[in-house]
Amino acid sequence: MTTKLFGEPVQRREDARLLTGQGRYVDDLGGPGTLAVAFVRSPHAHARILDIDVSAVLDVEGLVAVYTWEDLPGQLAQPLPLLIPHPALTHGRTALALARDLVRHVGEPVVMVVAEDRYLAEDACALINVDYEVLKAVVGIEEAVQSAQLVHEDVPGNVGAHLVQEVAAADGRDARQAIESAPHTLAFRLDIERSASMPLEGRGVFARWDGRDLRVYSSTQTSTSVRMAIAAKLELPLTNVEVIAPDVGGGFGVKIVHPWPEEILVPWAAMTLGREVKWTEDRREHFISSAHERGQVQHVKVGFDGEGRIQGLDVTILHDHGAYTPYGIIVPIITSTQLLGPYRIGAYRVEFSSVYTNTVQVTPYRGAGRPQAVFCMERTMDKIAAALGLDRADVRAANFIQPDQFPYDQGMIFQDGRPLIYDSGDYPESLRLLKELIGWDTFERRPGLGIGIGCYVEGTGVGPYEGGHVQVTSDGRVHVSTGLTSQGQGHETAFAQIAATELGVPIERVSVVTGDTRRFGYAVGTFASRAAVVSGNAIALACRKVRDKALRIAADALEADPRDLEITEGVVHVTGSPTASIPLSTVAVLSNPLRYSFDAETAKATQFAGTASYDRPPIAEGEEPGLEGRDYYSPLRSTFASGMHAAIVETDPLTAEIRILRYAVVHDCGRLINPMIVEGQIHGGVAQGVGGALYERMVYDSHGQLLNASFMDFLMPYATEVPHIETAHLETPSPLNPLGVKGAGEAGVIPVSAVIASAIEDAEGFPIDKMPISPSELFHLRGLG
């Protein structure tokens, strides 16, 4: 490999298009004749549907169709899929595409209206009368576990899932025995409130039916999975369904569910009506009907020695998964396993119950259970340090897994159903770099000024697989396609860097397509910080197939040994002899013997061009025409990235406002493909983490009404609230994949609540056990409110 782009801070190639308004999103699609969809959604958190009266809209000009559950055929009328079953999910429940008898959260779709435009569709929705019998709503974890009222009548105690995992100490003691016998013990409660993703672009679906084939454009993180779900629900052959994710304006996890009701209802309407149909989510719909996350209560017991080493840890978690469980219990599984962080825990027991409430369903949101886990573990570390009067960094260092202990088996089962075995890392070095970056040892305390720290390990690159296809065409261009989708991560750049490096071509000659089932039909999706690990390695493997074939063909043309050839700047040449060469474009031509000439270049591959060998067929046995390759990467298990954050905050003595003065990050995601993109991901993640720590929360009243369902009331940090972020990178390559990479997409957000809580606690001198925290809450904690 002579064109070295792997590891370079290449400018993002997609930015020019996106920043100049040339992006193409779902709402940009469809011509003047495209029909628009709107939904009548439940205004109640828990109610029985007694009657739906649509008579007032039937004569409205511009109305095309009105559908209720009774109109839905076959599989479309059945509950949506439970995507990730688990033995512990004993009472998994999913919604119907349109509610039938009961609604279980505000915003649940009840009626679909199709009209000539969105204005008419919305007006028609306002004329439809739905008669409800309002039932008592279950709101909040405490109310759910009291189970005076059930969200689902057939789910006892509102408990959808219950899981215990336990790892004994080296001497055989369980966690409770280890805690009881430890020199020091603590017990406390922690709370993380509910929040949500809020991508710039909401969800959207556009569908076109030609009488045989269905083409669907969706703002999704999982186009191939949406395709399979549509085919199953609409009872179509998979080969007759295409799903494309165009430009997607952010995902953060909320667009991973497949299918959302709209993703099957809109295509079904297009098929039924024989027209193009589109639905674009408005912001209120996103608040009340798209997924949330984060809400947990954690009860912690810990035993430790005089140096702060944990001998036993017992954590009981109550997790609010909302009204339905389409994505299973992945979030609390991640919380319960990633809670261990970079530490050797003597004995560990974790138990969680995942409960139903009459609120929007909970599915992964950037970080996916890890912010809760890190909040738990890092608050525990700070409490141990406070109890012993030790430096918080020293307590963490006393518990670190050491570099010579990898691979390190935590003895648990991770979210991918595989062992929780850390592949590589150097946690002491990360801490050293972080302390140096933030000035930990020289920090001068004063009233209202505090410093905080947080460490984490992030499982990335989960399977089961991703694939890559690479083709070199006769003009010397390299076309890369992979099935997972993009929502702003810089895939067009990072994947092009991999291909350019592997094939020895200029990056300007490489194009990348993601999320289009026409180009690549087998994929899993973009989530869990997996794109670089799984698709990146698949593309590299596909490139290596192409490279090997190119060298074999070029060796014939140059009468050389393939082992003596290399590719530089798109030219195959003999090592040390650049004049004995052949362009990769010509190799692509020679790889495809032709009967017909289409231009001067392809004429080189026709039957009278004099390049054929008469003692073998034009296409050798076992070969295929063209210079292209396809391969898949299926990881043995997850790779584990890691990092450490630190912050200095200032709290106002009068108003209790919280200001972040400095923020530092040390991150290890194995080999860096593009450090600039990794830093961008970290910065964006920290910004989102600041929101989760200080601003963002979903506030429900006792009736299940979301009280802050607009950007007037749901607070997010502006650029003025996001500090300058100082970063340092550590590279401990993963031994589990050819490129040695780990994921980086969620890292920035994971420890922020823990870090800011640590810093506020340091500034104020009393415990911070609940996040997010507002100035008014801090004011009350001071005993002044």
672-695, pLDDT tens digit by residue?
Answer: 999 999 999 999 999 999 999 999
414 within 8 A of 459, measured Cβ to Cβ: yes
289-307, pLDDT tens digit by residue?
Answer: 999 999 999 999 999 999 9
What is d(CA 744, CA 669) in angstroms, rounded to the nearest whole number? Answer: 6
Helix %, strand %, coil % of the chain (to 5):
30, 25, 45
Q: Give the per-residue pLDDT at 1.
A: 38
What is d(CA 88, CA 202) in angstroms, rounded to the nearest whole number? Answer: 32
Tokens standing for residue 605: 């591959």
Q: Give the per-residue pLDDT at 621.
A: 82
220 within 8 A of 524, measured Cβ to Cβ: no
- The residues facing 514 across adjacent strands are 482
Measure Cα distances from 151 to 91, 104, 154, 159, 355 in Å.
12, 7, 9, 10, 9
How many other CB atoms are found less than 10 A from the CB of residue 424?
Answer: 22
DSSP letter at 620? -
What is d(CA 724, CA 729) in angstroms, rounded to the nearest whole number? Answer: 16
Nearest in space to 141 (alpha carbons), one of 306, 314, 358, 311: 358
3 state DSSP class of 120: helix
DSSP letter at 531? I
What is d(CA 198, CA 67) in angstroms, rounded to the nearest whole number? Answer: 29
What is d(CA 244, CA 581) in angstroms, rounded to the nearest whole number? Answer: 40
CA torsion sign, 555 to 556 to 558 to 561? positive
163 within 8 A of 333, measured Cβ to Cβ: yes
DSSP letter at 498? H
Q: Give the per-residue pLDDT at 2.
A: 38
Q: Counting every residue, how long is the chain?
A: 785
**Dihedral angle of Cα 405, 410, 414, 418, to the nearest 10 degrees:** 70
For 757-771, the DSSP string reads HHHHHHHHSS---EE
Q: Both ends of the chain: CA-CA distance in Å?
A: 66
What is d(CA 110, CA 40) in angstroms, rounded to the nearest whole number? Answer: 6
640 within 8 A of 459, measured Cβ to Cβ: yes
φ, ψ for residue 419 (rounded to 5)? -60, 145
- The residues facing 162 across adjacent strands are 353
550 within 8 A of 586, measured Cβ to Cβ: no
DSSP letter at 594? B
Nearest in space to 160 (alpha carbons), one of 412, 16, 328: 328
Cα 123 to the chain's mean position, in Å? 36
**Dihedral angle of Cα 730, 735, 738, 740, to the nearest 10 degrees:** -10
What is d(CA 339, CA 410) in angstroms, rounded to the nearest whole number? Answer: 11
Residue stretches of the chain with pLDDT short of 50: 1-2
What is d(CA 447, CA 758) in angstroms, rounded to the nearest whole number? Answer: 15
Measure Cα distances from 269 to 35, 39, 58, 633 in Å.
10, 13, 17, 37
For 12-63, the DSSP string reads PTTHHHHHTT----GGG---TT-EEEEEEE-SSSSEEEEEEE-GGGTT-TTE
749 within 8 A of 252, measured Cβ to Cβ: no
Tokens standing for residue 63: 């109305």
Nearest in space to 335 (alpha carbons), one of 635, 679, 780, 750: 750
Nearest in space to 322 (alpha carbons), one of 66, 141, 74, 455: 141
What is d(CA 156, CA 535) in angstroms, rounded to the nearest whole number? Answer: 42
What is d(CA 154, CA 187) in angstroms, rounded to the nearest whole number? Answer: 35
Tokens standing for residue 422: 């850390």
State which H helix or E strand residue 65 sits in: strand 63-67
What is d(CA 326, CA 333) in angstroms, rounded to the nearest whole number? Answer: 15
Residues 6+ apart with CB under 8 A from 59: none
The reported pTM is 0.95
354-387 burial, b at 16+ Cβ within 10 Å, e below that, comes to bbbbbbbbbbbbbbbbbbbbbbbbbbbbbbbbbe
pLDDT above 90 covers a percentage of the chain that reads: 93
Cα 705 to the chain's mean position, in Å? 28
Q: Give the per-residue pLDDT at 3.
A: 52
DSSP letter at 74? G
| Angle, vertex CA 741, rays to CA 457 and CA 731, nearest 5 | 70
| Angle, vertex CA 308, rays to CA 382 and CA 334, nearest 5 | 60
What is d(CA 195, CA 347) in angstroms, rounded to the nearest whole number? Answer: 32
